[in-house]
Amino acid sequence: MNILMVASEATPFSKTGGLADVMGGLPAALAARGEHVAVVTPAYRQNEDPDPPREAYRNLWIPLGPGYSVDIWELTERNVAFYFVHCPPLYDRDGIYGSGGWDFPDNHIRYGVLSMAALGVARHLFPANIIHAHDWQTGLLPVYLREHFSADPTFAGVKLLFTIHNLGYQGIFPPEAISQIGLDPRLLNPEQLEFFGKLCLLKGGIAWSDAISTVSKGYAREIQTPEYGFGLDGFLRKHGPIEGIVNGVDYQEWNPENDPHLARKYSVNDLSGKRACKRDLLEEYRLPADLDRPLIGIVSRFASQKGFDLVADAASALLDEEVSMVVLGSGDSEYEAMFRYLAHARPDQVGLRIGYDNPLAHRIEAGADIFLMPSRYEPCGLNQIYSLKYGTVPVVRATGGLDDTIDEDTGFKFREYTGSALLQAVRSAVTAYRDRDGWVSMMRRGMQRDFSWSAAAGEYASLYRRLTG
Ligand code: ADP
Ligand code: GLC
C-alpha cells in the first residue's frame, strides 16, 4: 500500500511540538512493516536536513492567491520518502507559523499551497492509495481532492484519513479568505467550512475525509463532549466515529541508554548514570547540588492548554515542599512572566530557560526525578511517555492521552482542574520519593513499559486497510 502523509512539521527537519515527533516516528514504523510511505511537508528556512535534498519536480503550478510555482525536493530517511515543498515566498521566513508572537496572516494560503502541492506529489511522484492528513494545516486537502478532482482518474479509489492532534487549533480565518484559496464561497456554511461567521480549515478535514482519528482513545471520547469540543463536538459526532490511536515513541531518539545529549548513559539495570545526569542538570541550571531533594522537570510550550495556571495557583505551597524545579519552555507571555517570577523569588529552588532547546529537553528528561504535566487537556502528550523511559516519574492531570498512558504503577494523577488537586498529587509523589526502594521500583516499572511506534503503526495499517477495502 502507498501511504502519503501530509503535515506542517516533521522531525528531524522542523519542529514546534509533538506533531513533528509523530511525523518522524510513525512513517518510519510503517515503512519498517513493509508499507510504502512518503511525507509531504514545507521546505522552511529553519529546516535541518541531515542530507542535501535532491530536486524531484520543478515548477509545479499552484493556482492559489497570486499563483505559485513550487519545486519539490526529496530525500529518503529510514525508508521514508520526504517531499519538501520549496516555495520561498511562503516558507522562507523567520518563523514556522508566525513570528514575534503573531501568526502569519496568509497561513491559509501557505497551507492551502501545501495541500495542493501534496496532491501534485500524488499525481507526479508518489501514486497514493491512502492520503493521511494531519491537523488544520492540511484541512483543505480533502476539500480540494473531493471538490476539484472527484472525476480525476489519478485519484480514483484514494481514501482520506484525517488525524486531529489538537482540536484547540482550528485554522480560523476571516470569511473573505475563502476567495484566496480557490474555493466556492458557497462552502462557507455551518455544515461545511463556516464556524461562527469565520472560515475554519479544520472543518474541511473533518467533513470531507473518509475517516477521522485522534491520538488517544481518551481524547477521542472527550472531543465529542461540550467540555472539550471547542464548539465542534456536535460536528465531530455527526462525522464520526472518531478513532483513537495513542502515539508511540521513537526510541532511537528518546532512550537514556544511547542518548547523545547525556554525559552519562543509564538503563533499567544500572541507574547510576541518572544520578550523574541530575548533578549535571542542577549545575547547568545553577541550582544547589542537593541530590536528595526531588527535582521536578517541566518541558513545554507555554500555552493555556498546558495547565500552568494551576502551577501559579499552587506555586507557593508547592515550593514550601523540599523540592527543586527546572523549567524549559516558551510561548504565552503570562506564563513566561509567572515562571520568571518564581525563578526570581526562589532562586535556590527554581531554574528557568525560556526558549526551545532539544538537547536540554533530553537532559531534563534524564536529570529530573518527577515530570510535571498538569494539562487542561492533552490529546496524547509525548513528554510523559519519554519520562517513563528515562525513569522520571510523571505527575499528570488525568485527561486525554495523559490518563491513557500513565497509571498508578508508573506515576501520579489528579483529575480535578485545581491548584490544590495538583498540589496533592505532587505531595504524594514527594512522599513516595522518600521511600527509596519503592521509588526505584516505580521508576523501573515505567522504564519497562513499551510505547514503541510498532503497535500504533499496526493500528494505523489496519485502519488504512479497512478504508481501502
Ligand atoms: P505538544 O505537541 O502539545 O506541544 P507533546 O507532549 O505532544 O505536546 O510534544 C511536545 C514535544 O515538543 C516534545 O518532544 C517536547 O520535548 C518538545 N518541546 C516542547 N517544548 C520544548 C522546548 N521549549 N524545547 C525543546 N523541546 C520542546
Ligand atoms: C498535539 C497535542 C499533543 C500530541 C501531539 C502529537 O500537539 O497537543 O498532546 O501529543 O499533538 O500527536
Residue-wise pLDDT for 339-362, tens only, equals: 999 999 999 999 999 999 999 999
Q: Tell me whether residue 162 is in a domain.
A: yes
The predicted model gives 113-133 an average pLDDT of 98
Ligand 1 mean position, distance from CA 350 (Å): 20
* Residue 277 and residue 232 share a domain: no
* Residue 179 and residue 41 share a domain: yes
Q: At what angle do helices 333-345 and 308-320 cross, to 10 degrees?
A: 10
Q: Tell me whether residue 40 is in a domain.
A: yes
Looking at residue 458, its pLDDT comes to 97
Query: pLDDT tier at 52 (50, 70, 90 boundaries)?
Result: confident
* Cβ proximity of 182 and 112 under 8 Å: yes
For ligand 2, residues with CB inside 6 Å are 17-19, 22, 165-166, 215, 247, 378-382, 401
Q: Tell me whether residue 342 is in a domain.
A: yes
Q: In which residue are the cell numbers 475554519 written?
A: 200
Q: Is the pLDDT of residue 423 over 90?
A: yes
Mutate to test the pocket of ligand 2, among 215, 230, 377 (most ligand atoms within 8 A of CB): 215
Q: Tell me whether residue 222 is in a domain.
A: yes
* Cβ proximity of 339 and 327 under 8 Å: yes
Q: Is 168 in the pocket of ligand 1 (CB under 6 A)?
A: no
Nearest to 15 by CA among 301, 219, 254: 301
Q: Is the pLDDT of residue 299 over 90?
A: yes
Return d(Cα 392, Cα 429) in angstroms, integer: 11
Q: Tell me whether residue 254 is in a domain.
A: no
Query: What residues does 340 pair with on adjacent strands?
Result: none
Q: Sheet harboring 172-173: ordered strands across?
A: 172-173, 198-200, 194-195
Ligand 1 mean position, distance from CA 255 (Å): 16
The predicted model gives 212-240 an average pLDDT of 98
CB atoms under 10 Å from CB of 301, counted, come to 15
* Dihedral of alpha carbons 434, 438, 444, 446, sign: negative
Q: Is the pLDDT of residue 123 over 90?
A: yes
Return d(Cα 215, Cα 245) in angstroms, integer: 5
Ligand 1 mean position, distance from CA 17 (Å): 4
Looking at residue 51, its pLDDT comes to 83
Return d(Cα 226, Cα 162) in angstroms, integer: 21
Ligand 1 mean position, distance from CA 194 (Å): 31
Helix (H, G, I), strand (E, B) or coil at 319: helix
Number of the ligand 2 atom closest to the C-alpha atom of 21? 6
Q: Is 51 exposed, middle or buried (0-12, 13-18, 19+ CB in 10 A)?
A: exposed
Return d(Cα 344, Cα 274) in angstroms, integer: 28
Return d(Cα 30, Cα 33) in angstroms, integer: 5
Ligand 2: residue whose CA is nearest its atom 7: 18
* Residue 238 and residue 276 share a domain: no
Ligand 2 mean position, distance from CA 364 (Å): 19
Cis status, amide bond into 190, omega within 30 of 0:
no
The predicted model gives 111-131 an average pLDDT of 98
Report in angstroms the alpha-carbon separations of 58 from 34, 158, 417: 29, 24, 52
Return d(Cα 447, Cα 255) in angstroms, integer: 10
* Residue 241 and residue 163 share a domain: yes
* Residue 150 and residue 49 share a domain: yes
Number of the ligand 2 atom closest to the C-alpha atom of 17? 7
Considering every ligand atom shown, identify the ligand nearest to the alpha carbon of residue 300 and give its number. Answer: 1
Mutate to test the pocket of ligand 2, among 382, 386, 387, 403 (most ligand atoms within 8 A of CB): 382
Mutate to test the pocket of ligand 1, among 19, 134, 165, 301 (most ligand atoms within 8 A of CB): 301
Query: pLDDT tier at 49 (50, 70, 90 boundaries)?
Result: confident
* Residue 414 and residue 323 share a domain: yes
Q: Is the pLDDT of residue 101 over 90?
A: no
Q: Is 21 in the pocket of ligand 1 (CB under 6 A)?
A: yes
Q: Tell me whether residue 261 is in a domain.
A: no
pTM for this one? 0.97
Query: pLDDT tier at 50 (50, 70, 90 boundaries)?
Result: confident
> Residue 440 belongs to what domain range?
272-450
Looking at residue 7, its pLDDT comes to 98
Ligand 1: residue whose CA is nearest its atom 12: 17
Nine-digit cell at 348?
535556590
Nine-digit cell at 264?
552519562
* Cβ proximity of 185 and 215 under 8 Å: no
Number of the ligand 1 atom closest to the C-alpha atom of 306? 3
Nearest to 296 by CA among 468, 126, 422, 168: 422
Looking at residue 118, its pLDDT comes to 98
Q: Is 405 in the pocket of ligand 1 (CB under 6 A)?
A: no
The predicted model gives 217-241 an average pLDDT of 98
Query: pLDDT tier at 207 (50, 70, 90 boundaries)?
Result: very high
Mutate to test the pocket of ligand 1, among 169, 352, 358, 389 (most ligand atoms within 8 A of CB): 358
* Residue 241 and residue 281 share a domain: no
Mutate to test the pocket of ligand 2, among 19, 250, 406 (most ligand atoms within 8 A of CB): 19
Number of the ligand 1 atom closest to the C-alpha atom of 383? 6
Number of the ligand 2 atom closest to the C-alpha atom of 400? 9
* Residue 458 and residue 435 share a domain: no
Our count of domains for the chain comes to 2
Looking at residue 210, its pLDDT comes to 98
* Residue 288 and residue 234 share a domain: no
Number of the ligand 2 atom closest to the C-alpha atom of 401? 9
Return d(Cα 81, Cα 6) in angstroms, integer: 12
Helices H, strands E: what count in the chain?
16, 20
* Residue 384 and residue 237 share a domain: no
* Residue 461 and residue 360 share a domain: no
Ligand 2 mean position, distance from CA 382 (Å): 7
Ligand 1: residue whose CA is nearest its atom 24: 356
CATH at 313: 3.40.50.2000
Q: Tell me whether residue 104 is in a domain.
A: yes
Number of the ligand 1 atom closest to the C-alpha atom of 329? 23
Q: Is 14 in the pocket of ligand 1 (CB under 6 A)?
A: no
Q: What is the mean pLDDT of the chain?
A: 97
Query: pLDDT tier at 98 (50, 70, 90 boundaries)?
Result: very high
Ligand 1 mean position, distance from CA 165 (Å): 13
* Residue 299 and residue 427 share a domain: yes
Q: Tell me whether residue 214 is in a domain.
A: yes
